[in-house]
Structure 1
Amino acid sequence: MSTGLSAVGSPFKRVDATAKVTGRARYTDDCIMPGMRYAKYVRSPIAHGYVSTIDTRAALALPGVDAIFTFQDVPDVCFPTAGHAWSLEPAKRDVADRRLLTRHVRHFGDGVAIVVARDALTAEKAAALVEVSYEELPVITAAEQALASDAAAIHPGGNLLRHSEILANEPQEAIAAADLQQHASFQTPVIQHCHMEGVTCFAYMEQPDHIVIVSSTQIPQIVRRTVAQALELPWSNVRVIKPYIGGGFGNKQDVLEEPMAAFLTLKLGGAPVKVELSREECFFASRTRHAFSVDAELGMNRDGHLTGYRLNVLSNTGAYASHGHSIASAGANKISYLYPRSAFGFDATTFYSNLPAAGAMRGYGAPQVVYALECLVDDAAAELGLDPVDVRLLNVARSGDVNPVNHKTIYSAGLIECLRKGRELFEWDARKAECVNQTGDIRRGVGVACFSYGSNTYPVGVEIAGARLLLNQDGTVNLQIGATEIGQGSDTVFAQMAAETLDIPFEHIRVISTQDTDVTAFDPGAFASRQSYVAAPAVRQAAAELRGKILAHASVMTHKPVWSLTLLNGNVVLESCPEEVVMSVGDVSMHAYYHQEIGGQLLAEVSHKTTSNPPAFGCTFVDVSVDIPLCKVTINRIINLHDSGRILNPQLAEGQVHGGMGMGIGWTLFEEMIIDAKSGVVRNPNLLDYKFPTILDLPDLECAFVETYEPQSAYGHKALGEPPIISPAPAIRNAIRMATGVAINTLPMTPKTLYREFVQAGLIGE
């Protein structure tokens, strides 16, 4: 056996760090092409209605305008946009309800025409010259309007997108039999992802029947398929290239502007055409987080045992389905691991409205439902006079538990250890004791909340990943991976995996970060906290195969049996005497490449399907001060603790947790898209009026890990990318309730919300 270094688990620097901090990394907007055309949408100023007339003559007369296309000019094809792998079962496919341009306007800013010009400014000027008149329809923004029997139909099938129910172990009976029945309703807002790089792509044709798209996307393979469907082309006629990407957080897990760019280059004879959304357009014309209304109830006995709980969810998907009902149903599937010994009920309805289309966003439904559940658990503990940490220690998942919904065994569960470790690090008992019997304008509170989260989409979606390893002449290895690096650090951990299995230095692995659907091994993309888990078996198998080929060729070169050789830190050594170097991997490679009769290029490629999906767990502890007259919350201390199995790279893992915590704090205390309930107009589609926390607005962020070993995993690890955002919101809310006695069930908890709640509670006057 090799006694080489362990690359997995070490804090290696990101493989893309230098390129990004020096500005050498090339993003979509850096890939300029000669003769580029620029497109600009003509967007609806109303949220619901039909185009009556459209006049493009003045715009077409503007010098520099190449073409204008309206809803009358695009293919009469509806296509889906959600970033899910294709399903062979039609019933499981995403809803196809989007056209390139529309006559039936369904949200503020919906696209009715598009201008193509020689420069971006001319395109913008021309778009403003297109004259459009509308026949307005009633604007629907809330569930009671959308689901009313006489509601105007936003789509031909009506406004109910889908309803589903999940029941395990008779939740209503379990709740009714408990000593305490706790009930509350919760509201979460529409928010935007606010990734640094906006939505941008361009398309061109290098062959008569082959469209090339360069895009800032999380899902290049899905973009390829969807563009082909939208334009009724063979899938192989579309090539998608993903260069470096400046963040997505789920927004770019949708097919956004790529079909339009492809359509325009087809119409313009293959000329390169760029479609780029302004920051304002990103707010109302890309995707948002679903607003949830959750009616929740649970039963708890006097000793703290949770007998059962049920959540009734209304999910507002906005004008188009996008990821639609899968957001609500995914939230149900993720939380079912958290309290697996309790009865479970989840009733969900997703409906269309005239809000901007909602899609995937970090956490994928879990933040909304965990907020409701973990607030309600805390309220029940308070009602019974029990410590909220003790209640969770009594009820949370343990190794060996079985998920009551899917009947899967939980093999690794470190949540109890997370709670115990957090209790100690945070000094929970001492801090909690300091928060009793408070008076005055400024009061302190502490809060805790837990989460569970899956490591991919199986069995709802197919989980396939591919990896290709190629040995260079100098003994270094190129790793080409289908999984998309979008800033989360996946390229780095894949290099660590390959280095560990091959037993060559980490620095000798070069990751080809650009995905190209004509070249790169297939992978659906970056979403569902899946990539490190799902791609790991492909990387490991490919590395093991390449390792075997290296040793087999070394055996031919040395006339030693292959079983007597092994690899150690980039060298071929004797298995029985590892300190004796036989030759370097570079020596093997040169011989394989250039010997006149023996060998060949040494490479390995593996495509692998994953059929396991272990849950990750964790919790948040927080200490807050609430200034009641100012309706202001200050976070004094906050810490996340995570069970993500074996930690692949501690430095990157900490960065992931800090980023997720920051987003969770933003969702809790700052962020909200303000949309007029009557008109559907977005009032704050910019980074001046839409408030999210900068580094100066955040407290010191702390995190710690409880390392378990997941036996179903190639390297013992589980999900980490999305979980850090989930539990800060309920923990902060629970701390505010402890401080003030007011249970605030509406996010975000801005001064506006706190003022309303404090007035109603009598803490302050109007």
Structure 2
Amino acid sequence: MEVGRSLTRVDAFDKVTGRAKYTDDLHGEAILVARILHSTIANGVVRSMDISEAQAVPGVVKVLTCFDVPDIQYPTPGHPWSVEEAHQDVADRKLLAIRVRIYGDDIAVVVAENELAAQRGLEAIRVEYEEYPVCTTPEQAMAEGALPIHEEHPDNVLKHTLFNVITPGAAIKDVDEVFADPAYRVFEDHFDTQAVQHCHIENPVSYAYMEAGRIVVVSSTQIPHIVRRVIGQALGIGWGNIRVIKPYIGGGFGNKQEVLYEPLNAWITTQVGGRPVKLECTREETFQNTRSRHPIHFDLKAAVGPDMRLMARECRAVSNQGGYASHGHAIVANAVTGFRQTYPDVLAHRSEAWTVYTNLGSTGAMRGYGIPQCNFAGECMMDDIAREMGWDPLEFRLKNSMPLGYVDPTNGITCHSTGLRDCIRKGADFIRWRELREKYAHETGAIRRGVGMAVFSYKTGVWPISLETSSARIILNQDGTVQLQLGATEIGQGGDTVFSQMCAQAVGIPTEDVHIVSFQDTDTAPFDTGAYASRQTYVTGKAIKRAGEIFRDKVLDYAAELTDLDPGNLDIRGRDVVSTVSGAPVLRMADLAMEAFYSLQHCVHITAEATVQCKNNTFSFGCCFAEVEVDIPVGKVRVLRIVNVHDSGRLINPKLAEAQVHGGMSMGMGYALSEEMKYDDKGRLLNGNLLDYKLPTAMDHPEFHALFVETDDPSGPFGNKSLGEPPAIPVAGAIRNAVLQATGVGLRRLPMNPQRLVEAFTEAGLIEKVGD
């Protein structure tokens, strides 16, 4: 069995020794450098630009401005394309902007022989603007008299949706009837989450050149086939005229599921005679000009019965989108959907979601895709209700968690398997929940301890909201090993390793005999939409399994020809074709391969390729338990112990799964306690660097514990389901709820940094006010 083994990553040696080649390692020395001129206003219009001095700077090859680019608006998110216009992504960006919508918008580019000349060229450009008032919040943007940030949306509302769900058979017409019923306790509250950055190690970088009349772009991206499409749309050329190559990538977490600078770089090379051009974002540009996680304001309402059942809930979410649509309404819509799914209401549910343009930096996909935000709000409210009612928060969750067989009433996603209740019990036993809840029930003094929890559900992939498709190709080598070619991408998460294991399992050979092609090249790699939505082991896994089965059958047919045996009585086990009757080897794979390639009687090159359109989805589950120590006078939270327990179906590689969970827990801690992008009232980012942005370090972490409850999901290719994003989801809620138990103070805004904690503790009377 290859699936289920904790094998060493197939790329481990090259990465730890520095042999792995990333985008910036691959280009030659004779390459031009492009640097972008960013606006110094957040809202307005570029009226004129004087580039004469910049063009005279020694080493400057070309200066290109917002007045030179094609007049084409194009979409940037890494979604599957739709042939239905109504489901296509919002096209609201040009290669360079005359109409400025965020501080630091891209308005010109200098192409030079070296970095110094490019920088001097930028400094020599003179710009005149017509400046407009800046809106930094949805309330400002939707206020009467606010100027449209995009003419297509005069009220600055990108989209608004409303979902009303009444349980079949319920004797009510409206959720408000439940809230008005005196038999139920009604709770209301609001919560706010913040903008945070992905902080992947490798900044966005690409280089572009022309070859045989085509544009070639080498890029650090999660989605090479989608990059190819977006470049074609942005430049108004046929997609076949573009080739995209994706080498090893130094992290993405969703930020590289956006096509932001590859189209500009592709166009630049056409303006300099096809010469190679490198365009790399600085860390500051990565913060300001790529994407971040959406800040979302939640207003929640819940009606609870005396038997602990959630009878009805309401969620109103308003998302600050920033200046460009990016992934559009999808993220806040996913947030309110996720809020509904984890705890299906007995009678009714209402969700309302708003996505609003503002003049802040644009927000987009980040690990969890809206669910970390709604999970924080929802799990805080669960603890607040339990505290008010005198219930055990764990029992309250067990009472209301999604049951096996649940079908979402709006999109049909079905719970095919669940180990959530076992996850909760396993995590509670590990953290010693009941013992510590009792021990910390009445903490006093300046330093107090508490224990808290949060649970989550998360779907696997994007069906039926979007297309899910993938292809895989398997090729026999002369030595009996195989090549595995995919359009799916390794982005640091261990994808190449689990893909290799799944291929080996499907064919029947050792994983060591699978040679995966890690670099994706759109000229040769089978089509796949890429790494996002925790989809690849589920969707690409189906393609690998189908291709492996086809390949195996072809090998066995050829083996039957060579041995005069019935192919139905043959199988591949390890490095041999064996008889299923006797179990004895009848032919070595290496010998079969040599015969297939070089036989004078019947030479055949054995390959298999399969495409799947996945029309299914399923839920993964899990929980987080945290034990904390709170220093009240200084507002400091120290996480003492933390454990995540996950039901991700059958684990393909348990050791890699554990690593995924550890990484997600670290992101969740930063989200909970320290990370926040800070803007001034002009829309200017104030902490766009790794010094001022408070990313947690190794010194801030406790020992992470990752536990699993394995289920066998019938919809997964190997019983597996999503794991990539889920570990980051429940951590913030668990830490907040532990602080609540320790201090009696429940914060409603992230991050829970010292300033906010001191303010909350002072308001609660735990810290004495000084002066006025």
407 and 469 in structure 1: CA distance in 2 versus 1, 3 angstrom threshold: closer
Equivalent residues in 2 for 1:588-737 (5 A)? Answer: 588-676=592-680, 678-737=681-740
Choose which of 257, 261, 278 in structure 1 pairs with 2:261.
Answer: 257
The reply to whether residue 273 of structure 1 matches residue 277 of structure 2 is yes
Equivalent residues in 2 for 1:85-164 (5 A)? Answer: 85-157=80-152, 158=154, 159-164=156-161
Structure 1 residue 691: deviation in Å? 0.6
SS at match of 1:497: helix
TM-score (norm 2): 0.97
Aligned to 1:457: 462
Aligned to 2:516: 511
Name the amino acid aligned to 1:730: G
Task: Supply the distance in 1 between the matched residues of 2:73 and 2:327 (Cα, whole angstroms).
Answer: 15
Task: Supply the distance in 1 between the matched residues of 2:120 and 2:694 (Cα, whole angstroms).
Answer: 29
Aligned to 2:425: 420
Task: Supply the distance in 2 between the matched residues of 1:171 and 1:369 (Cα, whole angstroms).
Answer: 20
Structure 1 residue 414: deviation in Å? 0.9
Structure 1 residue 341: deviation in Å? 4.5
Encode CA deviations 1:219-253: one digit per residue, 9 max, x unaligned: 11111001001100001111110000000000000
Name the amino acid aligned to 1:164: T
SS at match of 1:675: coil
Task: Supply the distance in 1 between the matched residues of 2:83 and 2:601 (Cα, whole angstroms).
Answer: 46
Choose which of 61, 66, 70 in structure 1 pairs with 2:61.
Answer: 66
Structure 1 residue 102: deviation in Å? 0.9
SS at match of 1:667: helix
> Contact 1:142–1:353 at 8 Å: present in 2 too?
yes
SS at match of 1:653: helix
Structure 1 residue 305: deviation in Å? 1.1
> Contact 1:341–1:401 at 8 Å: present in 2 too?
no
Task: Supply the distance in 2 between the matched residues of 1:431 and 1:258 (Cα, whole angstroms).
Answer: 52
Task: Supply the distance in 2 between the matched residues of 1:334 and 1:475 (Cα, whole angstroms).
Answer: 46
Structure 1 residue 562: deviation in Å? 1.2
SS at match of 2:713: coil
- Larger mean Cα displacement after TM superposition, 435-444 or 646-655: 435-444
Structure 1 residue 182: deviation in Å? 1.1
Task: Supply the distance in 1 between the matched residues of 2:482 and 2:99 (Cα, whole angstroms).
Answer: 53
> Contact 2:49–2:125 at 8 Å: present in 1 too?
yes
Choose which of 11, 14, 20 in structure 2 pairs with 1:16.
Answer: 11
Encode CA deviations 1:409-457: one digit per residue, 9 max, x unaligned: 4220111111111111111000111111221001111111111111000
Aligned to 1:286: 290
Task: Supply the distance in 1 between the matched residues of 2:411 and 2:47 (Cα, whole angstroms).
Answer: 51
TM-score (norm 1): 0.98
SS at match of 1:577: coil
SS at match of 1:375: helix
Structure 1 residue 408: deviation in Å? 4.1
Structure 1 residue 179: deviation in Å? 2.2
> Contact 2:192–2:748 at 8 Å: present in 1 too?
yes
Structure 1 residue 98: deviation in Å? 0.3
> Contact 1:660–1:722 at 8 Å: present in 2 too?
yes
Task: Supply the distance in 1 between the matched residues of 2:32 and 2:175 (Cα, whole angstroms).
Answer: 59
> Contact 1:553–1:599 at 8 Å: present in 2 too?
no
Name the amino acid aligned to 2:92: D
The reply to whether residue 521 of structure 1 matches residue 526 of structure 2 is yes
Task: Supply the distance in 2 between the matched residues of 1:53 and 1:73 (Cα, whole angstroms).
Answer: 12
Task: Supply the distance in 1 between the matched residues of 2:646 and 2:703 (Cα, whole angstroms).
Answer: 17
Equivalent residues in 2 for 1:125-204 (5 A)? Answer: 125-157=120-152, 158=154, 159-169=156-166, 170-177=174-181, 179-204=184-209
Encode CA deviations 1:541-564: one digit per residue, 9 max, x unaligned: 111111111111111111111122
- Larger mean Cα displacement after TM superposition, 40-49 or 397-406: 397-406
Name the amino acid aligned to 1:622: A
- Larger mean Cα displacement after TM superposition, 107-116 or 397-406: 397-406
Aligned to 2:27: 32
For structure 2, which runs of at least 5 residues remain unmatched after alignment? Answer: 167-173
The reply to whether residue 548 of structure 1 matches residue 543 of structure 2 is no
The reply to whether residue 42 of structure 1 matches residue 46 of structure 2 is no
> Contact 1:39–1:275 at 8 Å: present in 2 too?
yes
SS at match of 2:341: coil
> Contact 1:180–1:380 at 8 Å: present in 2 too?
no
Name the amino acid aligned to 2:267: F
Choose which of 741, 744, 750 in structure 2 pairs with 1:741.
Answer: 744
Task: Supply the distance in 2 between the matched residues of 1:48 and 1:409 (Cα, whole angstroms).
Answer: 44
Task: Supply the distance in 1 between the matched residues of 2:467 and 2:435 (Cα, whole angstroms).
Answer: 48
Task: Supply the distance in 2 between the matched residues of 1:397 and 1:416 (Cα, whole angstroms).
Answer: 9
> Contact 2:411–2:465 at 8 Å: present in 1 too?
no
Task: Supply the distance in 2 between the matched residues of 1:20 and 1:202 (Cα, whole angstroms).
Answer: 22
The reply to whether residue 431 of structure 1 matches residue 428 of structure 2 is no
How many equivalent pairs are there?
758
SS at match of 1:445: strand
176 and 485 in structure 1: CA distance in 2 versus 1, 3 angstrom threshold: farther
The alignment yields a C-alpha RMSD, in angstroms, of: 1.1
Structure 1 residue 407: deviation in Å? 4.0
Encode CA deviations 1:611-640: one digit per residue, 9 max, x unaligned: 011011111111111110010001111111
SS at match of 1:329: helix
Structure 1 residue 70: deviation in Å? 0.6
> Contact 1:555–1:561 at 8 Å: present in 2 too?
yes
Task: Supply the distance in 2 between the matched residues of 1:341 and 1:522 (Cα, whole angstroms).
Answer: 40
Task: Supply the distance in 2 between the matched residues of 1:497 and 1:719 (Cα, whole angstroms).
Answer: 15
Aligned to 1:582: 586
- Larger mean Cα displacement after TM superposition, 178-187 or 498-507: 178-187
> Contact 2:317–2:336 at 8 Å: present in 1 too?
no
> Contact 1:335–1:453 at 8 Å: present in 2 too?
no
Task: Supply the distance in 2 between the matched residues of 1:671 and 1:654 (Cα, whole angstroms).
Answer: 24
SS at match of 1:446: strand
Task: Supply the distance in 2 between the matched residues of 1:631 and 1:338 (Cα, whole angstroms).
Answer: 32
Encode CA deviations 1:74-113: one digit per residue, 9 max, x unaligned: 0010000011010011111110000011111111110111
> Contact 1:175–1:300 at 8 Å: present in 2 too?
no
Name the amino acid aligned to 1:104: R
SS at match of 1:181: strand
The reply to whether residue 501 of structure 1 matches residue 506 of structure 2 is yes
Aligned to 2:392: 387
Aligned to 2:230: 226
Task: Supply the distance in 2 between the matched residues of 1:493 and 1:142 (Cα, whole angstroms).
Answer: 43
- Larger mean Cα displacement after TM superposition, 40-49 or 714-723: 40-49
Identity of aligned residues (%): 47
The reply to whether residue 442 of structure 1 matches residue 466 of structure 2 is no
SS at match of 2:256: helix
Task: Supply the distance in 2 between the matched residues of 1:336 and 1:270 (Cα, whole angstroms).
Answer: 51
The reply to whether residue 557 of structure 1 matches residue 562 of structure 2 is yes
Task: Supply the distance in 2 between the matched residues of 1:186 and 1:642 (Cα, whole angstroms).
Answer: 26
Encode CA deviations 1:497-524: one digit per residue, 9 max, x unaligned: 1111111111000110111111100001
- Larger mean Cα displacement after TM superposition, 505-514 or 333-342: 333-342
Task: Supply the distance in 2 between the matched residues of 1:164 and 1:34 (Cα, whole angstroms).
Answer: 51
Aligned to 2:239: 235
Task: Supply the distance in 2 between the matched residues of 1:376 and 1:176 (Cα, whole angstroms).
Answer: 20
Name the amino acid aligned to 2:159: R
Task: Supply the distance in 2 between the matched residues of 1:573 and 1:703 (Cα, whole angstroms).
Answer: 39
For structure 1, which runs of at least 5 residues remain unmatched after alignment? Answer: 1-5
The reply to whether residue 370 of structure 1 matches residue 365 of structure 2 is no
Task: Supply the distance in 1 between the matched residues of 2:602 and 2:550 (Cα, whole angstroms).
Answer: 19
Task: Supply the distance in 2 between the matched residues of 1:407 and 1:563 (Cα, whole angstroms).
Answer: 39
SS at match of 1:592: helix
Task: Supply the distance in 2 between the matched residues of 1:171 and 1:568 (Cα, whole angstroms).
Answer: 58
SS at match of 1:127: helix
